[in-house]
Structure 1
Amino acid sequence: MRRQTTTSGINPAGSSRALRLDPLSLPVSFDAHDVRADNGVRRVELHRERVVLRRAVQGMRMAINLRVTDFRGIALRGIDDAQMLVLLHRDPSLSIPLCVSSDREEIAAAWQKWSDIFSLPQLTEEAPCEPTPRRRRRNAIRARRPKFLVRRRGGGSVDAANVHRDEREIIARN
């Protein structure tokens, strides 16, 4: 495999030319727009099995490693007069642009190729994706009773056979 650089046909972020990544030449490395990162740019390394996002936020450099299976699918977004293919993640800030073009046949072919390479479904996206809400932890009774009391048996009705009435109590005294 050969290593790709920013001069190997991949357009840097902010370029006037359309973004077109070739799914058959993975691994690929390119710069993408990121509003949270310093200088508004993050470095994306795209492999068949994983994605590495490198960015600096307030001077702190970080690398986020994600499996391709963590992504929801390849989404088609409409922007102004063109369309964009995006590797869609549940967290919108982790979604990755793959291809931008105004040619519908080119987008359809690229959409199929990316979907086949990553084994992810093809999605259409009309509205921006919201992050999924947090899952509810444990069960409803956990908030009402302490954990050790949930494990213990509760006090039931008193068994009538064990109650001794009108008898004298035997107590051993010194």
Structure 2
Amino acid sequence: MTTVRIRQLAAGCLALGLLAASWHGLVPAQAARLRAAAPAIELPPDPGDAGRATLAGIDSNANGVRDDLERHIARHFGDSEKVLRAVANAVIATQHGILADDADESAAAQAMLVHAGDCMGAIAAELAPYGDALWRLRPLIDDTPERKQAMAAHMARVLRMDVAVTEQRRWDEHCDARVDEVEAWRR
């Protein structure tokens, strides 16, 4: 376990971008096999244009993940509960950043993203086949001019922060929960 400073962590810890960049194109054939083996699960309806009408989008089942992103995750990330939870947590944390209105909310969102990244790091080998899907997921998160602007404002606030976090690259009981429901991860 190491402690890291995260003054510019916003630029370096956007978990989806980093993981996707490091695994991009690693094993596309294996990823295709894993996608084909994914079980059918009940997906929320496609929100269409209504899903892009607000920053929050539509989360019809209130699981913390916008319906458009949940549909993408279900279609492209196989059936491993750990993989699905880790990716969903990174998306939830990033969405909290988009919705953040002030420095405190941005700090909480960034802390959630760091912890989500720790969980993703703990299962890096399981996530590796999904590098292409991670790469494609990132632009879906801030897919409107308003979301891009909100994300830029969040990132600007995070860049002004000087926060210390403890890096813990292990999968524990916290990784099994929604990142925004683990109180310790909001700090």
- Report the TM-score when normalising by structure 1: 0.24
- Report the TM-score when normalising by structure 2: 0.23
**Larger RCO, structure (CA 8 Å, separation 6 or more):** 2
Query: Which protein is bigger by CA-based radius of gyration?
Result: 1
Q: Which has the higher strand share?
A: 1
Q: Which has the higher helix share?
A: 2
